[in-house]
């Protein structure tokens, strides 16, 4: 490049001054030459690096796509890729191609993972055993090879209405339900019976949570199982996604979302009587090293089935009157708040073989979104009053209705009369508040205080009264 600065070729410059101006031009020319050469070299280097990168990227994509590509690789025709077939997989899996093994290169073939879909085994409160699922697939001709698994194509073809109709036509026995028990709710707020108020205070002390959190949680749920009653293994609360909204804080949430759950951070399960036969609470995978939903069913043993396989659970707790069990349904987030669902908290009620079983659940609800929990508590304390409490609890119950489809009552029923459940009310086993107070079935604060223990004593997530007695 030539330096054409106007001053260099100025017409006003005397000719004699050309000699002087020459070196300047030369210098200027040399300089611009060096500049242009290095600039050119630099550009070329970039262009080459860019081209090499593009080629490398294309090669990478090509080899990572395996033999399904349009081109032949390693002498294989794309139309006849090599497959392995273990026999147990419904679809043959393509074998990945070694990119460039070289003469001495070591190469470990690695199979691509496959996605396994499972559909819920609970429909309208009906619990499906693996045999039920096979039976339904056969009835709907949904699984032509009869291996109990549907390919994605088969799954897509499955008409869910037909699934529903099949269940309805078949009829359901109580033993086929997720749970075979009755329950009612006891309001523990202002104006509730002294025993229930005290119980709430003691749960607050036991959990060491702020009173606000405990008071704004669900009421006490009292459950009765008769002989033959059970509750298949389940989680008391659902997983948390960014969109998850808790029923109890819905008032403070601005958005509605299909991801709603009860956000039961803690369960305190009271045993109201000692059960003559069966009725243990089982934790099938407590202390397991891994949790995989699919391995809960192995060799025809379904660990979720508390009618058949309670004895195979890792931890079983025998109901003993006046004792209680506490566990966390969520892990800690490491910062002092609620984290992910603790899948190992899976639990259920074993079938009652003799007598009746009475328990009560105290669920402590905490929103994994701490700001939403705070907003909700502020809202409740600002609004206060019975009307707000009613609205709030109606929301909660609507949610639980949708969530569990159990035989629940509306808040209205409960609030006006905590014992409106027809069955329970007519049953001699359900006591009035008065009875409960006098009856040994429900203990006084003093008794329970001795039976309950602080979470410091508690061994891992599940804590039996027996263990704790030994610890103390």
Ligand X SMILES: O=C(O)CCC(=O)C(=O)O
Judged by CB under 5 A, the stretch of 74-82, 188-196, 229-237, 404-412 that binds Fe ion is 229-237
The smaller minimum CB distance to ligand X, of residues 69 and 427, is found at 427
73's tokens: 């690789």
The smaller minimum CB distance to ligand X, of residues 97 and 325, is found at 325
In the bound state, the residue with its beta carbon closest to Fe ion is 236
List residues bridging with 277 in a β-sheet.
354
- Partner whose binding site includes residue 281, from ligand X, Fe ion, none (CB under 5 to 8 Å by kind): ligand X
- In 236-366, which residue ranges form alpha helices assigned H by DSSP? none
Nearest alpha carbon to residue 242 among 372, 357, 87, 117 = 372
Nearest alpha carbon to residue 346 among 295, 278, 408 = 295
Judged by CB under 5 A, the stretch of 66-74, 102-110, 228-236, 373-381 that binds Fe ion is 228-236
* Strand blocks (E) in 66-211: 83-84, 93-94, 122-123, 126-127, 182-186
Q: How far is the CB of 343 from ligand X (least distance, A)?
A: 15
Q: How many angstroms separate the CA atoms of 246 and 366, rounded?
A: 8
The smaller minimum CB distance to Fe ion, of residues 236 and 369, is found at 236
Q: How many CA atoms lie within 13 A of 405 on its CB side?
A: 8
| Reduced 3-state DSSP string for 211-274 | HHHHHCCCCEEEEEECCCCCEEEECCCCCCCCCCEECCCHHHCCCCCCCEECCEEEEEEEECCC
The smaller minimum CB distance to ligand X, of residues 168 and 353, is found at 353
Q: How far is the CB of 368 from ligand X (least distance, A)?
A: 20
Q: How many angstroms separate the CA atoms of 298 and 282, rounded?
A: 18
- Partner whose binding site includes residue 303, from Fe ion, ligand X, none (CB under 5 to 8 Å by kind): none
Applying CB under 5 A, what is the total number of residues that bind Fe ion? 1
236 near ligand X, rule: CB under 6 A: yes
Judged by CB under 5 A, the stretch of 233-241, 313-321, 379-387, 425-433 that binds Fe ion is 233-241
Instruction: Considering only residues 317 through 376, tell me which ones interact with ligand X, judged by CB under 6 A.
Output: 347, 349, 359, 361
Please answer whether residues 150 and 143 qualify as being in contact, where contact means their C-beta atoms are separated by less than 8 angstroms.
Answer: yes
The smaller minimum CB distance to ligand X, of residues 179 and 443, is found at 179
The smaller minimum CB distance to Fe ion, of residues 218 and 236, is found at 236
| Contacting residues for 240 by C-beta, under 8 A, at least 6 apart | 261, 263, 330, 338, 340, 341, 368
Q: How far is the CB of 99 from ligand X (least distance, A)?
A: 53
280 near Fe ion, rule: CB under 5 A: no
The smaller minimum CB distance to ligand X, of residues 180 and 377, is found at 180
300: left (phi over 0), alpha (psi -120 to 50) or beta: left
Q: How far is the CB of 448 from ligand X (least distance, A)?
A: 18
Applying CB under 6 A, what is the total number of residues that bind ligand X? 9
- Sign of the C-alpha dihedral computed for residues 324, 283, 175 and 187 taken in this order: positive
Among residues 127, 137, 185, 231, the one that binds ligand X under rule CB under 6 A: 231
236 near Fe ion, rule: CB under 5 A: yes
In the bound state, the residue with its beta carbon closest to ligand X is 349
Nearest alpha carbon to residue 454 among 201, 199, 205, 198 = 205
Among residues 223, 286, 324, 352, the one that binds ligand X under rule CB under 6 A: 223
Q: Give CA angle at 83 (81, 86), nearest 5°.
A: 175
Binding site for Fe ion (CB under 5 A): 236
Binding site for ligand X (CB under 6 A): 223, 231, 236, 269, 281, 347, 349, 359, 361
């Amino acid at each position: 490049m030539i330096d054409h600065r106007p001053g260099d070729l100025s017409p006003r410059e005397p000719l004699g001054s050309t000699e002087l101006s020459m070196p300047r031009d030369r210098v200027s020319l040399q300089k611009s030459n060096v500049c242009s050469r290095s600039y050119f070299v630099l550009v070329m280097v970039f262009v080459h690096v860019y081209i090499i990168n593009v080629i490398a990227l294309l090669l990478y994509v090509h080899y990572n796509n395996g033999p399904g590509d349009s081109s032949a690789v390693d002498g294989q025709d794309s139309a006849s890729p090599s497959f392995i077939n273990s026999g147990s997989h419904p679809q043959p899996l393509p074998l990945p191609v070694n990119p460039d093994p070289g003469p001495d290169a070591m190469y470990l073939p690695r199979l691509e993972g496959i996605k396994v879909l499972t559909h819920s085994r609970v429909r309208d409160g009906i619990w499906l055993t693996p045999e039920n699922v096979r039976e339904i697939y056969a009835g709907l001709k949904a699984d032509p090879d009869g291996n109990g698994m549907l390919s994605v194509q088969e799954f897509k073809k499955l008409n869910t209405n037909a699934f529903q109709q099949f269940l309805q036509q078949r009829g359901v026995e109580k033993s086929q339900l997720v749970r075979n028990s009755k329950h009612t709710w006891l309001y523990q707020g202002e104006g509730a019976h002294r025993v229930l108020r005290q119980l709430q205070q003691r749960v607050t002390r036991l959990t060491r949570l702020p009173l606000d959190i405990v008071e704004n949680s669900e009421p006490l749920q009292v459950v009765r199982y008769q002989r033959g009653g059970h509750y298949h293994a389940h989680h008391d609360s659902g997983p948390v996604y960014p969109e998850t909204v808790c029923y109890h804080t819905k008032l403070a949430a601005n958005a509605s979302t299909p991801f709603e759950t009860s956000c039961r951070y803690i369960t305190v399960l009271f045993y109201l009587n000692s059960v003559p036969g069966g009725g243990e609470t089982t934790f099938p995978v407590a202390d397991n090293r891994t949790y995989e939903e699919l391995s809960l069913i192995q060799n025809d043993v379904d660990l979720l089935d508390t009618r058949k396989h309670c004895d195979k659970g890792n931890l079983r707790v025998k109901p003993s009157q006046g004792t209680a069990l506490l566990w966390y349904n969520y892990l800690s987030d490491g910062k002092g708040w609620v984290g992910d669902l603790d899948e190992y908290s899976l639990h259920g009620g074993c079938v009652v073989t003799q007598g009746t079983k009475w328990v009560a659940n105290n669920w402590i609800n905490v929103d994994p979104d701490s700001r939403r929990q705070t907003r909700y508590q502020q809202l409740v304390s600002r609004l206060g009053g019975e009307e707000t409490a009613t609205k709030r609890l109606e929301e909660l119950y609507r949610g639980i209705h949708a969530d569990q489809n159990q035989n629940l009552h509306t808040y209205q029923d409960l609030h006006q009369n905590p014992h409106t459940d027809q069955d329970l009310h007519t049953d001699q086993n359900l006591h009035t508040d008065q009875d409960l107070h006098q009856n040994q079935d429900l203990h006084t604060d003093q008794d329970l205080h001795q039976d309950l223990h602080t979470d410091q004593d508690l061994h891992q997530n599940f804590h039996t009264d027996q263990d704790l007695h030994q610890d103390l």
